[in-house]
Amino acid sequence: MANENESGIRVEIYDESYHLRGTDPVYIERLAELVDAKMRAVALHTSSVDSLRLAVLAAINLADDYYQLRRKYDGIESDYSQRAHDLSRVLDEALAEMRRAG
């Protein structure tokens, strides 16, 4: 799917060739594969053959995937932050009680 050379990497996305540059060719190839797969999945569910329209619909799908993951991450981060705060409070109370007793 990709062809690497000294000035970048050539990838195929939805049967079109693109020359992309970046510091990690493997990562760029993975991104191109993801976009290609998403465009092909969208194409299966729509009657459009316009690649620009498919690209926009694929981008909307990828943005939705991103926001769903971001929302999940933010919820997990908030939960762990609250747990850390609660544990810190319990530890502070235990230490204070040990100082009073000892």
Instruction: Indicate whether 33 pLDDT > 90.
Output: yes
User: What ranges do the domains of the chain cover?
Assistant: 2-101
- pLDDT greater than 60 at residue 5: no
pTM of structure: 0.67
Q: What is the token pair recorded at 95?
A: 């230490």
Alpha-carbon span 44 to 79, nearest angstrom:
39
Task: State phi, psi for 21 to the nearest 5 degrees.
Answer: -120, 150
Q: Per-residue confidence at 65, pLDDT binned at 50, 70, 90?
A: very high
User: Buried b / exposed e across 40-63, counting CB within 10 Å, b at 16+?
Assistant: eebbeeeeeeeeeebbebbeeeee
2 falls in which pLDDT band (50, 70, 90)? low
* Residues 54, 39 contacting (CB under 8 angstroms): yes
For the chain, percent of residues with pLDDT exceeding 70: 94
pLDDT at 20 over 90: yes
**Residue 75: per-residue pLDDT:** 84
pLDDT of 62 over the 60 cut: yes
- Rounded to whole angstroms, how far apart are CA atoms 46 and 55? 12
Does residue 73 surpass a pLDDT of 80?
A: yes
- pLDDT for the residue numbered 30: 96
> Angle, to 10 degrees, between the axis of helix 25-44 and the axis of helix 51-101?
120
